[in-house]
Amino acid sequence: MVRCNKAGCRFCEKGKGKGHGPIWILSVSLGNRQVRQIPIPSELKKEVEESRRAFAQMQKVLKQIAQVNLELFQERKRQRR
């Protein structure tokens, strides 16, 4: 929910109004502590949410692969000589 802070707005009235929305914001991490916030139109929310979930799943798998590779590397080091 967001507040427009316009005088007399019935949605933003203190103690009564809930503000405007709900609106949906996608936070995209760009690295270097940079985050971009992108407003999502409600008709695209489902699609964005599915993409976000797929991205999170892919990151999880990549971390697992990295972990396996690290273990394999350490095993190879142990078996030297």
Give me the residues that bind Zn ion (CB under 5 A), please: 4, 9, 11-12
H and E: helices and strands count for the chain: 1, 2
DSSP-derived letter for residue 34 is E
- Cα(45)–Cα(26) distance, integer angstroms: 9
Written as one string, the DSSP assignment of 35-56 is EEEEEE-GGGHHHHHHHHHHHH
- Give the residue with the Cβ less far from Zn ion, 4 or 44: 4
Give the residue with the Cβ less far from Zn ion, 11 or 24.
11
Q: Smallest distance from the beta carbon of 33 to Zn ion, in angstroms?
A: 32
Nearer to Zn ion, 25 or 68 (CB): 25
